[in-house]
Structure 1
Amino acid sequence: MRVSLFTTCLGELFYVDVLKDVTEILERLGCDVDVPEGQICCGQPAYNSGYAKDTKGPAKQMIKAFEHSDYIVCPSGSCATMFHEYPGFFADEPEWQKRAQRIAEKTYEFTQFIVRKLGIVDLGAEYHARATLHTSCHMTRLLGERESHYTLLKHVKGLDLVPLPNNYDCCGFGGTFSVKMSPISEQMVDEKIRHIEETKADVVIGADASCLMNIGGRIKRFGKPIKVLHIAHVLNSHQTEGDEQYADESRKSTIL
């Protein structure tokens, strides 16, 4: 099965280790992973800021970059959702709309692909920690994926997964929202962190780099001893209890 990795802007700039984890997991599951060179920003920042017409150019480039892929896998529910938005951009361009629809139909968020497409729920991972899961708005509300990340984490040996109070609340990032409405965004992420602390978790896990960057940056500013990890890190872990080597790797992966 040939899978093309949609690396995302944040993945390439700040989360190369996440892309590595995703690739290693997919290859263990028998996928032939490639990274199309023509991919650029998917256009989401412009689109979310109201510049829908200006998003057509990046959308067309991404369609051309990925249209020969069998499947497209993205380690971000937010960016995967953007591909599903593409068909709506081209109501006045039927040929491009068809091409965009084909792209949307074969695009999956990382955990969604493993559970929904490959039918796998246990990756044989082992990670000993008390953890809670932050679910991103785009992944749950727009992409409509609410279970795959929970399903995979429940099968991680040694992981004590604790429910996050008000997990449906936004972390306050929202792309350009956190820049344009920073005082409101700050209050939202502070509330999110208070709920994380209520769980007494050592680790907060997420599937969207943007959310993790926002939450992790605020946690670091407060000096709180909570690790912030992308779900791919945990699912690619084979840490046994007391394994300091992986603990060190986890600390390096915490958002700085």
Structure 2
Amino acid sequence: MSEKTATSKPDTVYLFGTCLIDLLYPQAGVATVKLLQHAGVRIIYPQAQTCCGQPAWNSGYREQALAVARAQLELFPKPIPIIVPSASCARMMKFQYARLFAGQPDEAEARKVASRVYELSGFLVDELNIQLHDSGAPLRVAVHTSCSARREMAVANKIPELLKHLHNVDAVEPQHAEECCGFGGTFAIKQPEISAAMVLEKCRHICATGAQQLVSQDYGCLMNIGSALEKQGVALAHQHIAEFLWERIQDRDP
């Protein structure tokens, strides 16, 4: 990990909130803001932002994906990092915008935006070298790394690195951690039987760790795994890594 000096750390960033966090899990967005502020970073949150365009793009609707993605480009004009609390959405913006906008008049602008996209956990570790102090009770935590985090954003090791700061947290990785949980966005809808079988296998490996909680950088995976665990009657708390970290570093003294 490269050391960042105080002067080289970004002091202002954009936040792209993602659909799932904005509409269903706003607490993860709030925790993201709090963590970045804890590290001394100012956040700009463009209110007009909507979707990165991934659902339409993955389903083969390029024109619709272009329309949605194009609406985001003008919202991030400053040459500063764009932080995304989801490896899946970050992957879409960072790596798929070049394909999506290929041959378009605004291709160059799309590439510029893409070059400034960071997934949250990677940004906290590599760019901010964030320091955290654990105020929580002893806890065993299972870490689920999403496919996008592992294979494209290359941030599979970032959550474990962040959790090393927390002396009361025993972080464990389930067996076959590199395998998909079965969510895959629209895959879970188009192939429900296969998706259900995959998530049941994932749940089995997570439960075998003896963890008391599950964390990930992608709420799509957490929603899928959490729902499957609930259907099995397994009471295992699950949180976005931003929520988990922010709660752990709060001073619990009266």
TM-score normalized by the length of structure 2: 0.90
Q: Is 2:151 the partner of 1:136?
A: no
How far did 1:69 drift?
Answer: 5.6
Partners of 1:105 and 1:117 in 2: CA distance: 14
SS of aligned partner of 1:178: helix
Q: Is 2:198 the partner of 1:175?
A: no
Greater mean alpha carbon deviation, residues 63-72 or residues 131-140: 63-72
Matches within 5 A, 1:1-256: 1-68=11-78, 70-84=80-94, 85-93=96-104, 95-120=105-130, 122-127=131-136, 128-238=138-248
Q: Is the alpha carbon distance of 1:98 and 1:67 closer, same or farther for their aligned partners in structure 2, counting shifts above 3 Å?
A: same
More helix by share: 1
Do 2:215 and 2:241's aligned partners in 1 also have CA atoms closer than 8 Å?
A: yes
Moved over 6 A (4+): none
Amino acid at match of 1:52: R
User: Sequence identity, in percent?
Assistant: 36
How far did 1:183 drift?
Answer: 0.8
Partners of 1:147 and 1:73 in 2: CA distance: 18
Partners of 2:228 and 2:219 in 1: CA distance: 14
How far did 1:83 drift?
Answer: 0.8
Structure 1 residue runs without a partner (length 5+): 246-256
Q: Give 2:6's aligned residue.
A: none
Instruction: Tell me the matched-pair count.
Output: 241
CA RMSD of aligned residues (A): 1.8
Partners of 2:92 and 2:127 in 1: CA distance: 19
TM-score normalized by the length of structure 1: 0.89
Structure 2 residue runs without a partner (length 5+): 1-10
Partners of 1:20 and 1:126 in 2: CA distance: 19
